[in-house]
A and B are shown apart, each in its own frame.
Chain A
Amino acid sequence: MQKGKPLLIGAIVLIGLVAAAPLAAQITIGGTTYTKFLWGNQRDEGALYNFTTVPGEGYGDNGQGTEIELLVNGKLSKKLAIQARIHSRFNQNFWTNYGGFGGTNPAFQNDGQQTPCIGGICGEYDPRSNQYVKLRGVALTLTPGYSWMDTAVIGQQDWGYFDPFVVGRIRYIDRDNQGGILLQGSAANRQLTWDVARISLARIYQGPGFTTGTFVAQDAAYTTQMKYIVNPQFDIGGIFNWIHDVEIDPADKNFDNGLNLLTRYRNNVYGLKAGIHPASAVDVRLQGFYSSTDTNAAFAPTNFCLTGCGYSPVIGGHHTGWSGKADVDLNDPFGMGLSFNLQGFRIGANYSSLLAARRESDVLLTEGHDAAFAFPGPSNASYGVFGGNRTRIGYGGWDGPMQQVATINVDNDFTDFDEPLAETVIGWQGVTFVPVYSKGALEVSGEASYITYDTNWQAFNDASRSIMNTDYPTTELDTGVNHSYRSAFAPFQDKKTYIGVAKAKYTINAGKGIEIFGKVKGIHETDNRMNDARFLPYQAGDCAGGGKACAGNKNSYSPGNTTSDLYGNPPVITVTNPVTGQKETGYQWKPFDSLSDDDRKLNYWMINVGAGYQLTNDLYGSLSYNYYHANLLDGDTAMQGYNLHEMTSGEHRKNQLIARFKYNIAGLSECGLEYQYNWGIFHPDFGGGYVVQYASADVNKNLGFPVGSPGFTGRFGGWNSLLDRNFDQQRLKAYLKVAF
């Protein structure tokens, strides 16, 4: 055969297929456009999202932009369909970019050193600012009509079919980035359904250390689930997920017979679920999950430190753990509009499912903590105590209470302040009771929760090891008024939490109905942290006071291990008061010589009142006020918070005045606006036992505190101010979404 013939035949066949395809195919293209306006007086303009923790990504509270999403669906035959999403992202595509023209070429800046492309400065030289369009969610759906299989989906899709404890949702904007193969079938008139999937792991984060290593192409999760609805009164299901992350065996040098693979990471999760519905007034749901996780130290981190190297979506080493919850719903048992929900739950410290829902799921009934005080904490810094580290989300935090997810792989990146925030519940165990009364225009509900923690332990539950070397990633650790949303583990914890909520909504029969609403919420949380004197860092009387240096006699809690690695003794300093001229000599921070030095006690409450009204047929508006009050003892200067966080002990009073509008005219999918005025005060109280220092010109330059203002320099050199901090911030988000 001549060389060109196969090509010719192929071309003819292809043309034939292409020509024939439109006759049978039904291709539809729809989509959405989404326009966003951000405004805030933090004056950040790094990206069209309020928040990210991703290094090199921008964030900001100012800018306008538009993104578009094209949804392509093709029904090629009765048995074959295709779908795809073509999506631009806001990212740094501001209107002010003028379509992504020009810009700074990062390759030629700083003597060849790449400059971070933030705020659209790189223009057309960076995809995030040149209006790039991404292909997402490309999948084929086969419905071959076999008796043993209903559907096969091959490609990228949202894997929300499964369970948030095992394989759950990821970030909405990336919901269908994950590729794989899904087979679905049913039997017994679809009372029995099953799903089997192979899901390719995302190399950028779905493995220990937020990576799947160097050989990534075969890394996958293998998932199956089955559900059987026995009858309307009883249903049962099971789920299993096996994750296998492999690497090429570095010892295999014989290329002639292929290369061997070794396991980098393995994660097995088994789950059983049952629903019992004996009467219309009663629903009972039971769920239990068991996990095992194994990390190969040859390829992945199996231990973490406490000071900035504790980042991983999974725990290291080998662990097994379990989670479970039982829900009992009593739906209006007295026929008077009063219902009850009761939930008992346990999410074990060692429960680990890499693909569990990261956000946009809520596995617990409790409201949990409030997002207004979520990461980064109350003192308006992003991390730590050093300069150049301004808050990202801003003093107002996010709106509303947090969602709970059963993983430390929590993700709240690329969110705005009006979006729901997720927090980890790894380690949580307790009970929640929620009564709801609804009658006519009145709805009243409440919550009472008691939570203790499976992560209540000393020295990470293994006193034979250094606390600076643990299997448990500590991320930003447990600081802030509530805590960082993704920190589940602390070296010392003895914690319990009480949450109480009462809220009501009533519609006044006037005009189109005036909706009034209110809420009161309280949280009492205590954490004794270190509760055994054998873990104190130095021997009793090591720091005698009176201007004498500490002796430095370390205390070992096990051979070779001491907490003085973390809680080092303070030096003796002499400070001159710039106003009085008096000199004081003493310790730079309080020596850690008492179990009470790291105690945490939070008394927190908030109230919300507001009213809403359908102002016109098209416009709904509401105005609400939130007040938060937190009295927090979060260790004294001996403790200083873990992982270089700024201290948060003291009194916090936060106020929010919020105006919300929703506008609807025919054809609009969503249109709304939220304006917030946030103001408040943080009155620090770090206890005593140290010499107050006074801000230098450098502190003033780096952190903005007045020269001569009181504070102290901590163990790592960062400045903690003792001044009251007054906050006064405004922000606004408006959005407009149109489906076509």
Chain B
Amino acid sequence: MNRTGFRFALLTAIAFAFAVAAASAQEVAFKDPVGDDKGPGKYTYPTDPVYKAGSFDLTEFKFTVKGDKADVAVTVNSSLEDPWGMKVGFAVQMIFVFIQTDETAGRTTKGLPGLNIQFGPDDGWNRCIILSPQPSARVRGEVEIKAAALQKMIVIPNQVRGSGRTISATVNKKEIGPGDPAKWGYQVVLQSNEGFPDKTDLLTRKVNEYEGQHRFGGGNDGDCDPHVMDILAGHGTGDKSEIEEQYKMLAYECNPDGTSKTMATLKMVRK
């Protein structure tokens, strides 16, 4: 083979490899409208300037399976920054990716501690990937204490990265389970990384009635309100109508003593 022929063969092989890789990757993607980072409609950001506008505004979610790995990528409506020196490219966000796989055994409609949410009867989850800027061992330790009963359903990536506006991680596909990801249900919950959480909160930041330097506002001082800033809704197309659907899902009622009367109930979003 002459030199030109070799180069052609090499380029063809590389192109083929990329094509095969692209073809073999399974991607599930959802979009979420901009400007709905208000939880059930009236939540506000903490007042410290590290919580930049759009930091908790979910705009896109991708779940991509490549071989025995799965990439999770969540995009927000603000450039990521690391004001607290977490050294992973982001700091203020904390993301929970709830997945309902094909497996029906073990599904739960309970939320995770600190989120104050539940899932609808048909929308139970059996896997949750946590994207936190905290070291994975810290997240694991918190789960062990605060969500021990759900520990086996929680997937904690060894490394999470933030770049541009996207927070991503790679997990082993077997940790999520068998089946076709395109047929699964997904829900993505945007929260904030709290290094010193309340005793019952899984590294989550509280929502109070009035926002504070490091507290979301617009909710209730008790634990009856969903501590959630943004989620997927509707068909996950990013249509403006999904804003109202989100507000409906996150609607809640409180008793006078701050306990929950009606808990925010989430649905899975599917392709």
Residues of A within 8 A of B (CB): 30, 32, 75, 78, 141, 143, 150-151, 157-158, 160-163, 184, 186, 189-190, 193, 195, 229, 231-232, 235, 275, 277, 280, 283, 329, 331-332, 337, 339, 341, 361-362, 420, 436, 438, 440-441, 443, 507, 509, 512-513, 515, 614, 617-620, 662-670, 739
Contacts and interface: CB of A to CB of B under 8 A. Distances in A.
A666 B202 CA distance: 12
Given A163-B49, A331-B165, 10 more contacts: A143-B210, A150-B211, A160-B48, A161-B48, A195-B47, A229-B53, A280-B75, A507-B158, A619-B137, A739-B196
Interface stretch (B109-117, B140-148, B174-182, B229-237): B140-148
B59 A280 contact: yes
Interface in B206-221: 209-213, 217-218, 221
Given A157-B213, A438-B161, A667-B141, A193 B170 contact: no
A280 B77 contact: yes
Contacts of B77: 232, 277, 280
Given A161-B47, A664-B141, A667-B145, A329 B57 contact: no
B163 A617 contact: no
A362 B49 CA distance: 13
B106 interface: no
A515 B141 contact: no
B191 interface: no
Contact of B164 (A339, A513, A614, A669): A339
7 contacts: A78-B221, A161-B47, A332-B164, A438-B161, A438-B163, A662-B135, A666-B141
Contacts of B142: 666
A229 B78 CA distance: 14
B158 A512 contact: yes
Contacts of B163: 332, 337, 339, 436, 438, 443
B165 A441 contact: no
Interface in B126-147: 135-138, 140-142, 144-145
Contacts of B137: 614, 617-620, 662-664
A620 B135 CA distance: 9
Contact of B210 (A151, A157, A329): A151
B166 interface: yes
B54 A277 contact: yes
B159 interface: yes
A626 to B, nearest CB: 16
B60, B137, B145, B199 interface centre (most CB from chain A within 10 Å): B137
Given A332-B165, A443-B163, A161 B49 contact: yes
A40 to B, nearest CB: 23
B35, B60, B77, B79 interface centre (most CB from chain A within 10 Å): B79
Contacts of B144: 666
Interface in B163-195: 163-166, 168, 170, 195
A23 to B, nearest CB: 13
B159 A507 contact: yes
B27 interface: no
Interface string B46-64: 0111100110010110000
B171 to A, nearest CB: 10
Contacts of A436: 163-164
Given A441-B170, A667-B145, A513 B54 contact: no
A32 B170 CA distance: 33
Contacts of A141: 212
B159 A158 contact: no
B128 to A, nearest CB: 18
Contact of A331 (B44, B47, B79, B209): B79
Given A160-B48, A280-B59, A515 B135 contact: no
Nearest to B146: A666
Nearest to A282: B79
A158 B213 contact: yes
Contacts of A280: 34, 59-60, 75, 77, 165
A162 B49 contact: yes
A275 B196 contact: no
A660 to B, nearest CB: 11
A322 B133 CA distance: 36
Nearest to B75: A280
A712 to B, nearest CB: 43
B41 to A, nearest CB: 10
A670 B142 CA distance: 12
B5 interface: no
Contacts of A339: 163-164
B71 interface: yes
Contacts of A32: 196
A278 to B, nearest CB: 12
Contacts of A441: 170
B245 to A, nearest CB: 18
A435 to B, nearest CB: 11
Contacts of B138: 664, 668-670
